Each structure stands twice: as structure tokens, then as C-alpha cells.
Homo-oligomer: A and B are copies of this chain.
């Protein structure tokens, strides 16, 4: 970290994202002290074994004591409880950020921390794999991906700059958005695709054992791409859908209408409608490739 690295970073929740960030700090900021906090003893044991933190604890309040940066990286449903527990212990003026996949809910749930005098900079490093836990992390996870920050209108610019610097260190391109807008964009690019993938794999599961083994054998022609997404962390995704309910239901409604239109075209044999629709989607793929996100 350029001028002034963080002295003591508390990472609350040390799964795929938290442990990957710890690895970045280990690599680039060897003098920064890392405190990892997790509920489960196995997770803390794994962190110790991996050597990616200087201290481990299952008490969030103990973790944040003296930290100048607190990173929340737990499932979203834990935020409100953690905020309540760490508010009395956190250093006034400390920067608090997070890695959660929806942002409006985060800002509501972390309000007690802002009242306690921290500088809140909500963030979302848009990176991940279908694997979870500290063993799955790696420092290069963030390379060339986007990180979206959603600071409030009254956020401290210096705090925003320091969080920006942190994710740039990890190799990310950092941008800012309004929280509601972030939630809508992510509902489209991430939350709906995951919901669809979970659904389609569920539909296949319900077909019965005979057909199921064939579905697995012949998965190479489309289905397997969905199984990868649908192998993502169930708790993390449960929380995303609960917390980003409004945006997900909005996008889902649009999707359902579009699917019904195609269903109708199939039923009535409207070949031209189908072909026209399928041609349009090719252009989007080219844009994704050009944006180097493929």
C-alpha cells in the first residue's frame, strides 16, 4: 500500500473473499497486522494453518479493538448482529467496509456503527468462484475485476480513497454507484442468473433417479454451466435473495415475461420470432468479450 497502509485490519468472516483479501495484505503489506474473526473453530484452525492472519478470534468485538480498518465479509444476515456487537468496541474514526453482494440493506444494517463514529464505505468486490471457505481463497481472485463502492453522500473522501487503494492493490478496477443502482445492476448480472441456475438444477433433480443419471451424463451441452453456478454457497445466496428482495423480484418479473413470450412463440411455431431473438443475444456476447470479462 502506497503512503500509509492500514496498521491493523480486522476481517470479520474469513471465507473465500475474506481469506483472499488476507492473502493480498500478506503479500503486499507485510507490516499490517491481520485479525481474522469467524464463528466456527474449524474455520479459525484453517486460517491458522494457512498462516493468513496474525490473530484469530470468534469474538467480533475483540477482533475490531484497535483496528483502523474493519472488513465485514460474512453472509449478509449476520451484519446487523455484528454491528450491534462491535459498535461499543470499534475505534472512533476507524474505516468500516464490507464485501456484500447487495448494498442498500447493508447501509441500513450497519447504521449503529455510523452512530458509533466509524467512517462507513460499503463495498462490493465483484469476484468469486463457486467454492467457499478460507482454503478456497487466493490473492489473484480479484485481478482485473470490478469493485463497486457505494459511499453515502456524507462519506469521508479520505476513507473512500483508502478503501479504493486497498482494492486497487488487489488488482481491481474501482468504481462508485448509488446503493439502489448497484442492487439493480447486480440483480441482473448475478442474482437472477444464480436464481435461474438453482432453479434449473432443481427441476432436473425432481425428474426422478432414472432420468437424473442421464441428465448428468449428457450435461455437456448446456446444463453443466448451470450446475457450476448452482454449487455456490447456499447461506450466502439465501441472504442475498432475502436482502435484495425488491430488485430481484423486479428483474425476475421482466425475465418471466420474456420467457413466457418465447414459450408462446414455441407453442405456436413462430420460427421468425425465435430466430430474431436468438440473433440479438449474440451481440451481447461480443460486448462481454470486448470488455474482457469472458
Contacts and interface: CB of A to CB of B under 8 A. Distances in A.
A186 B101 CA distance: 34
Contacts of A197: 222, 281
Interface in A133-182: 145-146, 148
B242 A269 contact: yes
Interface in A77-96: 77
Interface string A39-70: 00000000000000000000000000000000
A226 interface: yes
Find the residue from A130, A193, A248 having the highest chain B CB count within 10 A: A193
A227 interface: yes
Given A267-B249, A278-B198, A231 B285 contact: yes
- Chain A interface SS verdict (over half): helix
A4 interface: no
Given A188-B211, A274-B238, A255 B218 contact: no
A274 to B, nearest CB: 4
A237 interface: yes
A130 B219 contact: no
Contact of A274 (B127, B146, B217, B237): B237
Given A216-B287, A263-B252, A269-B242, A224 B294 contact: yes
Interface in A196-228: 196-207, 211, 214-228
A282 interface: yes
Interface in A254-294: 254-256, 258-259, 262-263, 265-267, 269, 271, 274-275, 277-282, 284-288, 291, 293-294
11 contacts: A188-B203, A188-B204, A189-B215, A192-B222, A202-B281, A217-B293, A227-B281, A231-B285, A235-B275, A237-B278, A256-B256
Given A192-B200, A239-B271, A256-B263, 16 more contacts: A126-B220, A185-B215, A188-B215, A189-B223, A193-B221, A198-B262, A198-B278, A219-B291, A220-B293, A225-B228, A231-B282, A237-B278, A242-B266, A242-B274, A245-B267, A245-B269
Q: Which 6 pairs, one residue from A and one from B, show the smallest C-beta to C-beta distance?
A: A193-B222, A234-B278, A231-B285, A190-B221, A201-B281, A230-B281
